[in-house]
Amino acid sequence: MDSILEVAILAGTISSGIAFVLTPVVIRIAKKIGIVDDPRLKTHPKVIHTYPVPRGGGIAIFAALLVSSLIFLDIDKHLLGILLGGLFIVFIGIIDDKYDLNPYLRLFMQFVAAAIPIASGIGISFITNPISGGIIDLSHPRISFDVFGEIRTIWILSDIFALFWIVTLMNFLNMGAKGIDGQLPGVVSIAALTIAVLSLKFSADITQWPVIALAAITSGAYLGFLPWNLYPQKIMPSFSGSVLAGYLLAILAILSTAKVGTLVVALGVPIIDTGYTIARRIISGKSPVWGDTGHLHHRLLNAGLTKRQIALFYWLTTAFLGILALNLKSTFKLYTIVGTAAFVGGLILWLTYRKSPRS
């Protein structure tokens, strides 16, 4: 364990350093090519910053991930699939930063990006039943066919589950963990670190070593970006940074022996907030993908908390739930998710209907 722990620490440190150094370069490039979010030109109610902020934070984050992965990980079909999918996300993100793509087009592109690592062989062959504790087998049915003399196999349920898991987390992170300066990179760094610690528990299995390293690299990349995104932010993670976060965390949860439940618990606050937000929009007859000011972080801001306090709230809850998830069995993870849902729902209701203080 000592050797992989040392490698993980080194990989995370280098990834963090690369992201920290490259982000100012990306800021200058973003200003030159015009990918800047100017609130004077964009009147959408969800825009809460008051000065022009460069977009494109995902570029620096992905560059740190790419370089560090090529240094510390063996280049196999799985890593290539992950990196190609990430590159596609960043490419779409840059276009969106410039032209503000239609949300439904972005959603379609997310499915394409998620399909790339799945095509490389990454999938969920089983999940733990949170009620009984048993195993739900997703490895059947299968379809086999010949491609240039080589037999290829598609695990239908496994691939479908993995596809929707990745796309769901991409959107939930984009919608629920982004919006306040410093919110996203802190949450993602802590969540990736949770997966790294989880995989360290199984480090006797050397197949988990690449997962530990990749989780450390992911955590480091977002941690290196964080100082530039702290209030007052110098750059936004934007679509590429937030969707890339969900993409990487979803894949890491798959690779770390399909510990989907652990990640759901750790990210309980932004995931549940996004679930409530989508339900609220649908019930109100609105599109679930068009942004508004109804997220928990918006309500906390309206209640008088500062952006720094809100970011700290998200970091602390993610850290608390992450530590809790590492020590819970499947059934208790379900109870924790239900409890978190009740907490977030109650907090949203209180913030919505609380009486304003008298002047």
What pLDDT is recorded for position 358? 41
Q: Is the pLDDT of residue 252 over 70?
A: yes
Residue with tokens 């306090």: 309
Exposure string of 40-56, with b = 16+ CB inside 10 Å and e = fewer, is: eeeeeeebebeeebbbb
Residue with tokens 């090519």: 33
Widest distance between CA atoms in the chain = 78
Q: How many other CB atoms are found less than 10 A from the CB of residue 217?
A: 29
What pLDDT is recorded for position 46? 64
What pLDDT is recorded for position 359? 37
Q: Is the pLDDT of residue 114 over 70?
A: yes
Summarize the confidence of residues 120-132 as an average pLDDT. Answer: 80
Query: Model confidence at 2, in pLDDT bands (50, 70, 90)?
Result: low
Q: Are the CB atoms for 197 and 5 separated by under 8 Å?
A: no
Q: Are the CB atoms for 199 and 211 separated by under 8 Å?
A: yes
Q: Which of 46-50, 161-165, 212-216, 310-314 has the lowest mean pLDDT?
A: 46-50
Q: Are the CB atoms for 63 and 22 separated by under 8 Å?
A: yes
What pLDDT is recorded for position 242? 97
Query: Model confidence at 147, in pLDDT bands (50, 70, 90)?
Result: low
Say what angle helices 57-72 and 77-99 make with each other, to 10 degrees: 170
pTM value is 0.93
Q: Residue 282's Cα: distance from chain center in Å? A: 23
What are the tokens at 27?
């800021």
Q: Which residues contact 58 (CB under 8 A, 6 or more apart)?
A: 89, 90, 93, 237, 238, 239, 240, 241, 242, 243, 244
Q: Is the pLDDT of residue 329 over 90?
A: no
| Alpha-carbon dihedral angle through residues 175, 179, 180, 182, given to the nearest 10 degrees | 70
What residue spans of the chain are helical by DSSP H?
A: 2-33, 57-72, 77-99, 103-119, 156-176, 183-200, 209-229, 238-255, 260-266, 268-283, 296-302, 307-326, 330-353
pLDDT above 70 coverage of the chain, percent: 93
Say what angle helices 268-283 and 156-176 make with each other, to 10 degrees: 90
Q: Is the pLDDT of residue 96 over 90?
A: yes
Summarize the confidence of residues 59-66 as an average pLDDT. Answer: 98
Q: Which residues contact 102 (CB under 8 A, 6 or more apart)?
A: none
What pLDDT is recorded for position 357? 47
